[in-house]
Chains A and B, each alone.
Chain A
Amino acid sequence: MLSVMHLAQLNIAHMRAPVDSPELAEFVALLEPINTIADEAPGFVWRLKESEEDPTATVVHEYGDHLLINFSVWESRETLWNYVYRSPHLGVLRRRREWFLRMAEPYIVMWWVPEGHIPSLAEGMRRLERLKADGPGPEAFTFNAFYDSSEAVSLPAAAEARK
């Protein structure tokens, strides 16, 4: 029997200034409404939260200063896509240059996890490193170079088939 697989995604962004600085204030104010949209979006499974009480608290980690980390699990590519690009989140993304530095390296990575499994932040960061080092593969991929959960054989999902 095939087990149900969920899609984990991790993305990082380098802030232009400390998270508690005036430069980031507008972004921080958007965290609660935009995270609420994620939490209520179809297909949302889980996201890493720093605090259950403070919706503006960003994930605290040891991977570098001014580095914002988003880490979540979704039921499918489509549900994650619809949240990222087909919800008010798109408007926030569009303003990213106001708050974040442009990145030449990959800043988002996806991989499949068994339903019910919550991956660790360390695992997510390892997957991102793997994507940077080796390029996309079934263990670490992106929206544009996507791998289906059934792809034990590592063939990129034909872009044509998804259109």
Chain B
Amino acid sequence: MSSDDLDALALLHDPVRRSLYAAVAAGGGDVGRGEAAEAAGVSRTLAGHHLDKLVEAGLLESGFRAQEKKGPGSGRPAKVYRRARGERSVSLPPRDYATLASVLAGVVDALGAEEQAERAAREAGVTMGGRHAGEPVEEVLGARGYEPYEEGGAVRLRNCPFHVLAEERPLLVCSMNLALCQGLLEGLGDDPGRARLDARPGECCVALSKTNKD
């Protein structure tokens, strides 16, 4: 944990800032000042002030989007915001699970033990799901930081909770994540086959197909 992380996260103590941050994150891409203001229920001016504070702290990034109408009177480009790529974490007392996870992932690779790792991930998912049996999978994944959203009837996951590890060892981590999600569905009493790999830039590698119950 760095004091920068703590300072940045402390900014979110303000409920307006927190709802603006949530609105931008849920947008999944560039979100305009007006859109964010509307989602948070505040004025554009107030939203702009707080959004810029979040940019200063490195929680959001800003850019400009060209107006759709061209020519005279179309105005200057609109300022847009998106979630910053870097991650922040605070743990008290300090903990560092990521370093050990990275070392262990390297060991799995060195041993060629991917299949055992996937089996272990599946079992962990089943256990996790078992604690929430009967709950909708979207809620359980949401609580675990996957940020599910609906697209064409399927459930996509905006956030990869294992991002840093997935960048280091994508094949191992994405395969384990798929197994974990399948196990989770099984534990919930849902169909494990709904989870499949459907990787896209900037999102989790797993998507869930429509439920068979409908």
Contacts and interface: CB of A to CB of B under 8 A. Distances in A.
Interface of A: 82, 84-88, 90-91, 93-94, 97, 102, 144, 162-163
Interface stretch (B34-42, B48-56, B195-203): B195-203
B79 to A, nearest CB: 25
A102 B201 contact: no
B164 interface: yes
Contacts of B197: 90-91, 94
A124 B214 CA distance: 53
Contacts, number: 39
A103 B193 CA distance: 30
Given A86-B199, A90-B197, A90-B199, 12 more contacts: A82-B201, A84-B170, A85-B170, A85-B174, A86-B200, A86-B205, A87-B200, A91-B199, A94-B171, A97-B115, A163-B164, A163-B167
23 contacts: A82-B201, A84-B170, A85-B170, A85-B171, A85-B174, A85-B199, A86-B199, A86-B200, A86-B201, A86-B202, A87-B199, A87-B200, A88-B198, A88-B199, A90-B174, A90-B205, A91-B199, A94-B174, A97-B114, A144-B168, A162-B167, A163-B85, A163-B86
A82 B167 CA distance: 11
Bin the interface of chain B by size.
20 to 34
Contacts of A102: 112
Contacts of A86: 199-202, 205
Interface in B112-143: 112, 114-115
A152 B164 CA distance: 27
Nearest to B170: A85
Interface of B: 85-87, 112, 114-115, 164, 167-168, 170-171, 174-175, 197-202, 205
